[in-house]
Amino acid sequence: MAKITFLPYQKKWITNSAQFALCEKSRRVGITYAEAYRVTRDLSTKNVKNNKVWFSSADLSASEEFIDYVGFFAKYLKTAAKYIGEVIIDKDDDITAHRVRFSNGGECNAISSNPTRFRSKGGDVILDEFAHHRDQEKMFTASKPSAMWGNRVRIISTHNGDDSFFNSLVAETKKGAEGTMKNWTPFRITIEDAIKDGLVNTILGHKATKEDIKHFMEDAFAGMTQEAIDEEFYCLPRSSSNSHLLPYELINPIERDNILDELLAGIVGDIYVGGDIGRKKNPSVFWILERLGELLYTRKIIALKNVPYSEQRKILYDVLSHKNFRRACIDATGIGNQLAEEAQDAFGKLRVEPVMFTPKVKEELASHTYVMVEGKKVLIPRDKTIREDLYSVRAVTTSAGNVRYEADQSKDGGHADYFFGLALALMAAKSYSGPLIITSGARRQMNSILQGY
């Protein structure tokens, strides 16, 4: 078997002999792999009190992978060990563990993230991907009895929000002697730390060029938001103070390929239009939906930035002139007021509704959009720009207990423009058969909820 070498940061983790150690890390930098080597080495040399190790990760597949690593390193170190399989460790609660037993009596047990499974278990404790456990604080508490008898407790994890129990432990370890985790040794390994120590060289099997590293990082970050990249690769937990109205778990299921009909030539159902109006700072977005049965299909999205008012009007009128057009809701806040009112004059008050973005209206738009997306009643194109724009809207609770909706400005200057284009189109489809709650024709109100909108 070829010689196994570890990178400097892995060696530092392996050789650390502290009773308590906590590692906040980037994804896929091989810390759990290095930990499996340390466990195998220590168990084979009886360097573990009680000669047992209890490993728990956030899901069963990760625990099974750890056991596979231990088996691999046992062969590498030429120490006699055998995979016993899944064994019962608590008959009363039907608790099982995957176990590797060494010829000297040492055992490595991989169990699930149920806190009760650590009760009355002597030996070292390893909590892997700790921030992703369901009951982090209970897991941490359950591991303490092992420490009382001199065993080691090691916590390894990527971040999972700044309000996680794991992040609170990280903060305490950084306080040193002033914190509640003063006996813990902290480690921090970002993707940049790993690359500097030779991660890409190891993956490629040769010394990486700057271009190699660039491609590696592009591939690793593909399809991720900056917020997700910061958390998953740079140990910077995402803010949890404000929740996203439409998380990826809701957006992804409604995305479809080849859903658009740019010429609107194949339309057979009713058409509904939403228009979020901008000019220079923010783009205008016209979102066109077709109703087929109970579903609303996105057929065309028109994004216009720095386009003169007269051209925006022509483009909008071309859509509203379609024989299947039924209703439109147009942003009448600020610059959109004239366009919305002219469109209403041209196509009729029952077909075009100018919409003032008051707090009440924005709440109605956001709530209805959430219901439609959650219920998978609307389908959208699979597009990163659109996905990130929809994701950007957060529901923020004010000190007075009111909910408002905010969005970060995107790199291209957008400010949830696609979100409100879609929301207005959905409202147009909703209100076609009944009255709309929105006030028409009022002057611009300066209490827009979106900062900088």
pLDDT (tens, 9 = 90+) of the chain, 453 residues, equals: 788 999 999 999 999 999 999 999 999 999 999 999 999 999 998 887 778 999 998 777 888 899 999 999 999 999 999 988 777 666 655 567 889 999 999 999 998 766 566 666 778 999 999 988 878 888 898 888 877 888 999 999 999 888 789 999 999 998 888 888 989 999 999 999 999 999 999 999 999 999 999 999 999 998 787 888 999 999 999 876 556 889 888 898 999 999 999 999 999 999 999 999 986 678 999 999 999 999 999 999 999 988 998 999 999 999 999 999 999 999 998 888 999 999 999 999 999 999 999 888 998 999 999 999 999 999 999 988 899 899 888 776 544 456 677 775 554 545 789 999 999 999 999 966 544 444 333 332 223 223 332
How are beta strands 352-355 and 325-331 bridged, if at all? parallel
Long-range Cβ pairs for the range 395-404 (8 Å, 24+): 395/242, 395/243, 395/244, 395/245, 395/366, 396/242, 402/359, 403/363, 404/359, 404/362, 404/449
What stretch(es) of the chain map to CATH 3.30.420.240?
248-431
What stretch(es) of the chain map to CATH 3.40.50.300?
8-201
Is residue 417 within 8 A of residue 280, CB to CB? The reply is no
Rounded to whole angstroms, how far apart are CA atoms 244 and 266? 35
Is residue 75 within 8 A of residue 1, CB to CB? The reply is yes
Rounded to whole angstroms, how far apart are CA atoms 17 and 12? 10
In the chain, the amino acid numbered 126 is I
List Cβ neighbours of 215 (8 Å cut-off, separation of 6 or more).
Answer: none
Fold classified for 8-201: Rossmann fold (3.40.50)
The phi, psi pair for 140, rounded to 5°, reads -60, -45
Chain-centre distance for alpha carbon 99: 33
105, with CB counted inside 10 A (0-12, 13-18, 19+), is exposed
The top-level CATH class assigned to 248-431 is alpha beta
In the chain, the amino acid numbered 121 is K
0.85 exceeded by pTM: no
Query: Hunting for tokens 């190891």 — which residue is that?
Result: 202
419 token code pair: 């979100």
358 token code pair: 């008051």
pLDDT at 150: 86
pLDDT at 36: 97
Nearest to 434 by CA among 353, 342, 379, 357: 353
pLDDT at 440: 38
Q: How confident is the model over 194-223, as pLDDT tens digits? A: 999 999 999 999 999 999 999 999 999 987
DSSP per residue, 191-245: HHHHHHTTHHHHHHTSPPPHHHHHHHHHHHHTT--HHHHHHHHH--PPP-SSEES
147 token code pair: 């420490």
pLDDT at 419: 97
Query: Hunting for tokens 């909590």 — which residue is that?
Result: 127
